[in-house]
């Protein structure tokens, strides 16, 4: 893409872990450049003081929602807490501005006017929408684990999840306090979790999900127990997953159950395990991904690339990058 065709990106709510990962991806992107990064807490500070991979003099700013349209970014990424995106989206509507907007919160994941951007499963639903809702991290992993067998389910999938504490964000709480998590596994929202509802809605089948937080910083795993309507052999199950994801650069099907420690800092998801019951009517599938990358920033970049007409994996490393704690 020629220099004159480069697109500008604004990130709203860039203080958090995902915001930093987005800055890293954009800094290495051949067709994107940062126009602004907003953070009330970091207002006035240089971006490169917090994200070393960014080379430039840009500083964090704190524009009001109604001032965002005048900043003129071609792409706007909303990395805000749940319930906060609406004011920004409304501001663009009132101003008659139509940038590509990617929302990382849960605010529009149930809104049919927005494209739900889990590319490996929803590419055919994209019709050029300028409003994209990025899926949740757990919801991404669960859907990747269940989708290839969805038509053969005999009961709701039961999914046990464990995430690193970066998933709880930067606002202090029990779920991101390393001292309280030390030697601990903390269950929470054991029914009705947002990602349970999200996954159920987008798979079209009820899903039962029990999340936990562990002492590690990044990376999540979900173990999904699937009852099948007919007996299957392991090779047949794996063939379905290879068919679904065999050409996907950011989903890897593996023989053994994947480990969180091997996915941290990497941009793809891994799906594996495929442990069968003796009667062949039950299979356990394990999916792992980095909640800050494929579960958030990397998936947003996939969606942005596609919406701009670029190859989906542009600027997304295919090998292990350094792990950013």
DSSP 135: P
Measured distance CA(268)–CA(159) in Å, rounded: 20
The per-residue DSSP string of 190-237 comes to -SS-HHHHHHHHHHTS--EEEEEE-SSSS-EEEEEEEEBSS---HHHH
* Phi and psi torsions of 194, nearest 5°: -50, -40
Q: Which residues of 236-248 are buried (b: 16+ CB within 10 A; e: fewer)?
A: ebbebbeebbeeb
Residue 128 backbone class (left: φ over 0; alpha: ψ -120 to 50; beta: rest) = left
**What are the structure tokens assigned to 294, written together?**
């494929």
Residue 13 backbone class (left: φ over 0; alpha: ψ -120 to 50; beta: rest) = left
Catalytic residues: 137
Strand ranges, E, within the chain: 7-12, 32-38, 75-78, 100-103, 115-116, 131-133, 158-163, 186-187, 208-213, 220-227, 251-253, 269-276, 282-289
Measured distance CA(256)–CA(259) in Å, rounded: 9
DSSP reduced 3-state for 15: coil
**What are the structure tokens assigned to 187, written together?**
């269950």
The answer to whether the Cα torsion of 249, 52, 42, 27 is positive or negative is negative
DSSP reduced 3-state for 244: helix
């Amino acid at each position: 893409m020629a220099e004159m065709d480069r697109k500008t990106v604004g990130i709203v709510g860039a203080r958090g872990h995902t915001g930093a990962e987005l800055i890293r991806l954009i800094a290495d992107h051949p067709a994107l450049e940062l126009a602004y990064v907003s953070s009330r807490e970091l207002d006035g500070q240089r971006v490169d003081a917090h994200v070393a991979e960014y080379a430039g003099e840009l500083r964090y700013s704190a524009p009001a929602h109604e001032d965002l349209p005048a900043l003129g970014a071609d792409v706007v990424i909303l990395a805000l807490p749940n319930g906060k995106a609406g004011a920004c989206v409304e501001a663009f509507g009132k101003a008659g501005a139509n940038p590509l907007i990617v929302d990382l919160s849960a605010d529009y994941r149930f809104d049919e006017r927005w494209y739900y951007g889990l590319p490996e499963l929803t590419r055919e639903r994209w019709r050029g929408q300028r409003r994209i809702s990025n899926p949740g991290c757990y919801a991404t992993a669960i859907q990747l684990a269940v989708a290839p067998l969805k038509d053969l389910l005999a009961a709701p999938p039961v999914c046990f999840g464990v995430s690193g504490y970066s998933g709880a964000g930067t606002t202090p709480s029990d779920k991101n306090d390393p001292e309280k998590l030390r030697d601990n596994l903390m269950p929470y929202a054991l029914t009705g979790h947002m990602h349970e509802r999200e996954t159920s809605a987008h798979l079209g089948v009820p899903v039962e999900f029990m999340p936990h937080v562990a002492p590690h910083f990044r990376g999540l795993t979900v173990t999904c127990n699937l009852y099948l309507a007919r007996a299957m052999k392991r090779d047949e199950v794996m063939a379905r997953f290879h068919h679904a994801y065999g050409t996907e650069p950011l989903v890897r099907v593996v023989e053994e159950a994947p480990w969180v420690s091997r996915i941290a800092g990497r941009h793809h998801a891994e799906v594996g395990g495929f442990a069968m019951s003796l009667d062949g009517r039950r299979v356990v599938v394990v999916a792992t991904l980095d909640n800050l990358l494929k579960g958030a920033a990397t998936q947003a970049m996939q969606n942005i690339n596609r919406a701009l007409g670029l190859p989906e994996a542009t600027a997304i490393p295919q090998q292990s990058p350094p792990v950013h704690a």
